[in-house]
Amino acid sequence: MPRAMLASFARRIAASDLNLLPEEKLTPTRMRIELLSGLTVALALVPEAVAFAFVAGVHPLVGLYAAFLVGLITALIGGRPGMISGATGALAVVMVALVAQHGVEYLFATVVLMGLLQIFAGVMQWGKFIRLVPHPVMLGFVNGLAIVIFLAQLTQFKVPGSVVSNGHGMSGGEWLSGMQLAMMLGLVALTMAIIWATPKITKAFPAPLAGIGIVAVIVIVLGLDVPRVGDLASIQGGLPAFHIPVVPLTYETFRIILPYAVILAAIGLIESLLTLNLVGEMTGKRGGASQECVAQGLANTVTGFFGGMGGCAMIGQSMINVKSGGRTRVAGIAAALFLLIFILFASPIIEVIPLAALVGVMFMVVIGTFAWNSLKILAKVPLMDAFVIVLVTVVTVYSDLAVAVVVGVIVSALAYAWNNARRIHAKTRESLTDHGAKVYEIQGPLFFGSADGFAELFDVEGDPDVVIVDFADSRVVDQSALQAIEAVAGKYEAAGKIIKLRHLSRDCHRLLNKAGHLVVDSDDDPDYEIAVDYNVRTGILGGH
């Protein structure tokens, strides 16, 4: 990356940190809130990282190292302080086929390439295209992710060790039953009740942390036989070590990993940027999309060289952080460092925490994440918007986030094009200055969708010898629009009549010049006999 670009990137990070709201200044009280929020997030990260490692078919430490490294780097230089990143299920379900066919070393190489692609996207400032995602797609994304988070927690209600990877994800497993299931459900409900009640009593510490701590103490003191974190896998390990992926440096290797890297990079950026927008709306402070792309890319590149499975923004953990009061980079950094401490020193303590407490936290995240107001507005918004909300929600649940967002954007774009195509119409009148010429005042955009409708506006046989097409209330958008104009001009030419174009905007003027078919700065077009009113003295199209 060029030195000037690095300097600009560093200035943007510094600016984002200096532009803090009053409640985000790092006072002792704020630091306490940030550290406790980071601890809460770290506790919630452990079972998620282990579970997603199982989904991808790799060792639990591969998921934990990814959660630590991706979380730390994005917390340091990401586009939105307060966001949490780590190993995610959206990426894990793509990785499982690669790991099953080629092994974990190819996964590490893919993660490195994935990171480089994300850095390139950030440098090219492609993150700004997230603005093209319509609000109904955002609502569908939020609702779909809430359902996915809920469904992911259901595996915790199965007998530990009975859920296995089938090469496409996690499947099988025996459900808990009898007293064990009753205790699990009771502890989940208790955790949720504590999280709901704690803010009404005190705000000295995050409510999710209170729920986890109280329920854990109850389980340990009473010796209740319920699933615990240690039943998933041991999280004990050492520091992640630098490791160059052991793969042949050949074209064949590149051909294998490139498709996976592109898909992973796209999914990771889409989920991260949508989470960026969501957190920005909740905190009232926007983040830098392109900066987030670079941060995610750098994090994944580093992670691939340290034995991690890569990752992206985690909406569930980000919601936990925001709800717990985390607003600065301190919370994300603390979460990553606490996770490393768990791996190195505190695994015996963390492994006795009941899964029910963490499931209760995630259920509260689901309740807080789901856009409940979207259910009320479904009957009030346009039918197409309601359809997009439901469609994106369903596709997110049954496919994946990237496909859902792309489908939602395409459907929204087609609906927009169709609505605009129907807006093209014309008012007609007789010109007072052009000796009885008929004037068509075009209203609405002229583009590929409205080209046919535009052609149907004209009565070639019944019109006088001179026809004026006034574009003051319209806009010529694309090549299809030019072809539509040329087709109409051809019909008037065949009938021995003249057509003039007026009030073309400057961008339309440039478009006509680029097309090379219409000579807009002359009286007549030699091929199509199209005249454009052009004031030679002022050089303005449509001058009189």
- Give me the long-range contacts of 164-168 (CB less than 8 A, separation at least 24): 165/54, 165/55, 165/57, 165/96, 167/57, 167/96, 167/97, 167/100, 168/93, 168/96, 168/97
Per-residue tokens: 493:
């030419």
Strand order in the sheet with 425-430: 425-430, 438-446, 466-476, 498-502, 530-532
How far lies 543's CA from each of 434, 502, 537, in Å? 14, 8, 9
pLDDT at 341: 96
pLDDT value at position 172? 58
Q: What is the pLDDT of residue 541?
A: 38
Query: What pairing do the DSSP bridges indicate for beta strands 438-446 and 498-502?
Result: unpaired
Q: Return the pLDDT at 277.
A: 87
C-alpha pair distances (Å), 425 with each of 422, 469, 473? 8, 12, 10
Q: What is the pLDDT of residue 528?
A: 30
- List pLDDT tens digits, range 495-526: 888 888 887 766 666 655 554 444 334 343 33
The conformation of residue 126, written as its DSSP 8-state character, comes to G
Q: How many CB atoms lie within 10 A of CB 144?
A: 27
Structure tokens, 402? 């990237």
Cα–chain-centroid distance for residue 13? 21
Domains of the chain: 29-155+174-231+245-385 (no CATH), 425-541 (3.30.750.24)
- The whole-angstrom separation of Cα 485 and Cα 339 is 64
Q: Which two tokens stand for residue 44?
A: 């919630």
* Single pTM value for the model: 0.78
The pLDDT assigned to 7 comes to: 55
Q: 158: helix, coil or strand?
A: strand
> What's the pLDDT score for residue 127?
87
Buried b or exposed e, range 154-172, using 16+ CB within 10 angstroms? ebbbbebeebebeeeebee
3-state secondary structure 167-193: CCCEECCCECCHHHHHHHHHHHHHHHH
**Structure confidence by residue, pLDDT tens digits, 380-430:** 888 999 999 999 999 988 887 778 888 999 999 999 888 888 888 899 988
pLDDT in tens, the chain (544 residues): 455 555 555 555 555 554 555 556 778 889 999 999 999 999 999 988 988 898 888 999 999 999 999 999 999 999 888 899 999 888 988 898 999 999 999 999 999 999 999 999 999 999 888 888 888 998 898 898 889 888 888 888 888 765 555 544 455 578 888 899 999 999 999 999 999 999 999 888 889 999 999 999 999 999 998 999 998 888 999 999 999 999 999 999 999 999 999 999 998 999 899 899 888 887 777 768 999 999 999 999 999 999 999 999 998 899 999 989 998 999 999 999 999 999 999 999 999 999 999 999 999 988 988 888 888 888 888 899 999 999 999 998 888 777 888 899 999 999 988 888 888 889 998 877 767 789 999 998 888 899 999 999 999 999 998 888 888 888 888 888 888 888 888 888 888 888 888 877 666 666 555 544 443 343 433 333 333 443 333 333 343 3
Instruction: Collect all residues with Cβ–Cβ distance below 8 Å to 417 and sequence separation of at least 6.
Output: 447, 448, 449
Say what the pLDDT of residue 33 is.
93
At residue 376, the pLDDT reads: 87
Q: Are 38 and 330 in contact (CB under 8 A)?
A: yes
Write out 263-310 in H/E/C secondary structure: HHHHHHHHHHHHHHHHHHHHHCCCCCHHHHHHHHHHHHHHHHCCCCCC
CA distance 326 to 312: 18
Going by C-alpha positions, the residue among 275, 271, 293, 261 that lies closest to residue 402 is 271
Q: How far apart are CA 488 and CA 492, in angstroms?
A: 7
For 368-484, strand residue ranges (E) read 425-430, 438-446, 466-476
* Whole-number pLDDT of residue 525: 34
Model pLDDT, residue 512: 58
Which residues are within 8 A (CB) of 117 and not within 5 positions of it... i.e. 6 or more apart? Answer: 261, 262, 265, 297
Q: Take residue 234 and report the two structure tokens written for it.
A: 């041991």
Extract the tokens encoding 272.
Answer: 């991260």
What SS3 class is residue 247?
coil
Give pLDDT, residue 220.
94
